[in-house]
Amino acid sequence: MAFREKSAWIMALALLLGGVFYFGTVISLSRGHGGLAPPGLPLLVFYTAAMLAIAVVGHAVAAAMAPREAGHRPDEREELVIARAGNQSAYVLAVGVLLSLGAYLLTGNGHLMFYVAFGSLMAFQLYAYAAQIMMYRTGV
């Protein structure tokens, strides 16, 4: 497995775990709040720090296992895979933004708009990493 594919796996796992934690916490806070809990900076800071820690540790382990690969620039195929995955995932982001705007127009709830937009950012990036993994696996 190439280092870039390992990197995509690490980041996809970090995003998945971070997203489950973040939205699980939001759901828990909302139950206690009696409605949709407002977004809070401390939770976002903790989420960001946890994502950063998972990414740094994961990449350090992957780089230690294959130090030569880790230091290399992406070749043409890897650059093409990254570009195609980014282009495809942009549609996920566009749909998420439209959904968040629609949620606000229908409900007038800014908290819901924030969570849908934040979730769409997570989904966008998760899709990009999943697409990269699939392209590496299928040889596209």
pLDDT tens by residue, 80-132: 999 999 999 999 999 999 999 999 999 999 999 999 999 999 999 999 999 99
The answer to whether 26 and 115 are in contact (CB under 8 A) is yes
Locate 1 and state its tokens: 């497995």
Q: What is the mean pLDDT of residues 13-33?
A: 94
Task: Say if residue 71's pLDDT is above 80.
Answer: no
Name the pTM for this structure. 0.88
Higher per-residue pLDDT: 48 or 2: 48
Q: What is the mean pLDDT of residues 36-64?
A: 94
Task: Say if residue 3's pLDDT is above 90.
Answer: no
pLDDT of the residue at 139: 79
pLDDT confidence tier of residue 77, bands split at 50, 70 and 90 = confident
Locate 103 and state its tokens: 């949620």
Q: Among 46-60, 68-82, 88-102, which stretch is predicted with the lowest mean pLDDT?
A: 68-82
Cα angle for residues 50, 109, 17 (degrees, 5° grid):
20
